[in-house]
């Protein structure tokens, strides 16, 4: 097994985001998204509410990623985390990369004094992974709706 390391991306890691966008289909089985512009990538990586980790091989190439948002709430606990997205390169699946990324998220939450995290799981496979990481099904979760506004 080839070792990997986990690191949180920040300003100056724009190239890492571009590499991830280039190989996105190998991580998520979804159609590729266009990469962020350089300015948008800098803003993304500078935003304190955006938490983005990479798992990287010995050469610094991404083998997995996790992205989450820190949310400020108007009642109850003042902060929670929305676990937005995780992906592991197909050839690296089953080697503990996903669990290590989730552990990095949880460790950072503890450092920040945040206790609650939630994630929307869109498949049985995703649900099984999250359950294996200690997540429970939230029966109160409703249907997610979206809208794109005209400019």
Asked if residue 32 has pLDDT above 90, the reply is no
Range list of β-strands (E), 23-105: 50-56, 62-72, 79-88
What is the rounded average pLDDT for all residues in the chain?
A: 90
Asked if residue 1 has pLDDT above 90, the reply is no
Give per-residue pLDDT as tens, 47-76: 999 999 999 999 888 999 999 999 988 888
Token pair, residue 144, equals 């997610």
Mean pLDDT, rounded, for 121-146: 82
Asked if residue 149 has pLDDT above 90, the reply is no
What are the structural domains, with CATH classification, of the chain? 5-132 (3.40.630.30)
Q: What pTM did the predictor assign?
A: 0.89
**Strand 62-72 vs strand 50-56: parallel, antiparallel, or unpaired?**
antiparallel
């Amino acid at each position: 097994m080839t070792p990997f390391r986990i690191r949180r991306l920040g300003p100056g890691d724009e190239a890492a985001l571009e590499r991830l966008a280039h190989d996105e289909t190998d991580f998520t089985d979804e159609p590729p998204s266009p990469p962020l512009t350089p300015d948008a990538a800098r803003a993304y990586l500078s935003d304190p509410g955006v938490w983005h980790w990479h798992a990287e091989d010995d050469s610094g190439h991404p083998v997995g990623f996790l992205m989450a948002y820190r949310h400020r709430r108007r009642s109850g606990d003042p902060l929670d985390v929305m676990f937005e997205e995780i992906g592991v390169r197909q050839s690296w699946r089953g080697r503990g990369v996903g669990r290590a990324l989730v552990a990095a998220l949880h460790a950072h939450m503890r450092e920040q004094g945040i206790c609650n995290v939630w994630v929307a799981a869109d498949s049985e496979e995703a649900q099984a992974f999250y359950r294996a990481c200690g997540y429970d099904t939230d029966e109160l979760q409703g249907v997610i709706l979206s809208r794109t506004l005209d400019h």
